[in-house]
């Protein structure tokens, strides 16, 4: 079985500052890892994913995440926050070849001008 831990339900970041959202996972098989974003009044949109290969993955809107097996982590970063980054972010994991996703509780990101 897989599970995800996201700490800090609400995260405030100043415009232009680093965005760092932490994700730790548990998986009994090699994981596939995902970050999804939900903008206000919209559905879940895939930001980026890790399946195999390069451990640093780049996604849309300047976000990237690094898979660290030794730390069972997949933290999401963006060097400079923009007002449009205000949204809820979800980390998710699935087992290798199993498309059932287990989600974290989400981080509501607020960007302060």
Partner 1 sequence: EAGVTQFPSHSVIEKGQTVTLRCDPISGHDNLYWYRRVMGKEIKFLLHFVKESKQDESGMPNNRFLAERTGGTYSTLKVQPAELEDSGVYFCASSQASGNTIYFGEGSWLTVV
Structure tokens at 73: 């982590």
Question: Binding residues for partner 1, how many (CB under 8 A)?
Answer: 21
103 binds partner 1 (CB under 8 A): yes
User: Distance between terminal CA atoms of the chain?
Assistant: 41
Rg (CA), the chain: 13
Percentages (nearest 5) of helix, strand, coil residues in the chain: 10, 55, 40
Q: How far is the CB of 103 from partner 1 (least distance, A)?
A: 4
The position carrying tokens 């100043």 is: 14
Euclidean distance between CA atoms 109 and 4, whole angstroms: 18
29-58: contacts with partner 1 (CB under 8 A): 32, 34, 36, 42-46, 49, 51
Q: How far is the CB of 6 from partner 1 (least distance, A)?
A: 9
Q: How far is the CB of 41 from partner 1 (least distance, A)?
A: 8
Q: How far is the CB of 55 from partner 1 (least distance, A)?
A: 16
Which stretches of the chain bind partner 1, using CB under 8 A? 32, 34, 36, 42-46, 49, 51, 90, 92, 94, 99-106
């Amino acid at each position: 079985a897989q599970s995800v831990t996201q700490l800090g339900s609400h995260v405030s970041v100043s415009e232009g500052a680093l965005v760092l959202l932490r994700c730790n996972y548990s998986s009994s098989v090699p994981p596939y890892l995902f970050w999804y974003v939900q903008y206000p009044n919209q559905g879940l949109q895939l930001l980026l994913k890790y399946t195999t290969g390069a451990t640093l993955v780049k996604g849309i809107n300047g976000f990237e995440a690094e898979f660290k097996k030794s730390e069972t982590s997949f933290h999401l970063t963006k060097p400079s926050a923009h007002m449009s980054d205000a949204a809820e972010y979800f980390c998710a994991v699935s087992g290798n070849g199993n498309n059932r996703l287990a989600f974290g509780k989400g981080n509501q990101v607020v960007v302060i001008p």
